[in-house]
Amino acid sequence: AVEYALARLLASWGVEPAAMLGYSLGEYVAACLSGALDLSEALALVAERARLIDALPEGAMLAVPLAAAELVPMLPADVDLAADNGPGLAVAAGPEQAVAELEAELTRRELPARRLTSTHAFHSRMLAPIEAGLTAWAASNLHPRAPDVPYVSNVTGTWITEAELRDPGYWARHATSPVRFGQGLATLLADAEPALVELGPGQS
């Protein structure tokens, strides 16, 4: 909601995006601002996703000062890469005990990992039980269109396609797949002279 309001405020001042990249739920904001989803659809999608996740077991998330390629071999069997944020910064997610074991191993290696404020292991296989329900809900309730403003997918790290938007399963994959933010930022920075504006509620 904050990002959407800030973007609308900037638009009232004549500042319009040429392209966008959201982070996790921020992709819903990008889809809405791009014209791919109506605001009412995006809000309903957020609410349905939250309703389904609320019924799942709780989990934990850990920000780690390692590249994804360095972190993945260290992950316990039931912990997943939840976000690839760029060189030297990734996020792991999974059951509380398994994440605590990973945290202890990182401490042993003198790597200052940081717990994220999160009730569940977002962007991990712990959310897999909601995939069928969220896909079915999206098929019945979303009517996506080709975006008027291009934006980058968290799932692929490159430009969203109309085929992805029209696939109800995309929104389920978005919930369980790692956030490919580092790749997404690289996609935006491929522009020879980018001017980046970050919109958000705080320091995340």
pLDDT at 66: 96
Q: Kindly give, in sequence order, each residue whose CB lies less than 8 Å from that of residue 77, ignoring residues fewer than 6 positions away.
A: 98
pLDDT at 203: 62
3-class SS letters over 32-63: HHCCCCCHHHHHHHHHHHHHHHHCCCCCEEEE
Q: Is the dihedral of CA 90, 117, 74, 55 positive or negative?
A: negative
pLDDT at 164: 97
In whole angstroms, give the CA distance from residue 200 to residue 3.
5
- Going residue by residue through the chain (204 aa), what tens digit of pLDDT does each one get? 667 777 777 778 887 889 999 999 999 999 999 999 999 999 999 999 999 999 999 999 999 999 999 999 999 999 999 999 999 999 999 999 999 999 999 999 999 999 999 999 999 999 999 999 999 999 999 999 999 999 999 999 999 999 999 999 999 999 999 999 999 999 999 987 888 888 876 665
Q: Kindly give, in sequence order, each residue whose CB lies less than 8 Å from that of residue 183, ignoring residues fewer than 6 positions away.
A: 84, 156, 157, 158
In whole angstroms, give the CA distance from residue 55 to residue 136.
17
* Residue 144 and residue 160 in contact, taking contact as beta carbons nearer than 8 Å: no
In whole angstroms, give the CA distance from residue 25 to residue 4.
11
Regarding pTM above 0.85, the answer is yes
